[in-house]
Amino acid sequence: MLGGSVYIAFTRFVISLIGVILIFLQISKSRFRPQKTILCYAFFCAAVAFGGCVWYMVDWNSCVRMVAFAMYLCFMVFAIWISGESIYLSFYKLALVFYLMAVFVIGSLEISILFFTGMCGRTLLRAFF
């Protein structure tokens, strides 16, 4: 985690959760109507982000080490509960979601390194400054 204020931490928690939830919603069938599913995910996201921020304020050292793991563990339990499919299929889809998330994070880091510190970055910086 990067540190910073509670507002920055809250923003990171929410962006991370929403990304994982959106990917899982695209490939999974819910046991509820779509409106109720969205409401459940919204309340879940708010509760987990709020809990993460409280943890961040109370014990910063342990939060830095464990908050992402705890959030994704809570998401896994919630996603299996809300999924209308078998538990094995839910595990498979969760594994796919976490794999895609890792690919997107690493890809975005590599692209930003390429454009902001690599040859392209120097060319772009010279063009604008």
pLDDT at 36: 93
Cα–Cα dist 7/103, whole Å: 26
Handedness of CA 57, 62, 68, 74 (dihedral sign): negative
Which pLDDT tens digit goes with each residue over 36-88? Answer: 999 999 999 889 888 888 888 898 888 878 888 898 899 999 999 999 888 89
Distance of alpha carbon 47 from alpha carbon 43, whole angstroms: 6
Distance of CA 49 to the CA centre of its chain: 11
Torsion of CA 53, 59, 60, 64, to 10 degrees: -80
Give me the pLDDT at residue 32, please: 92
- The β-bridge partners of 83 are 30
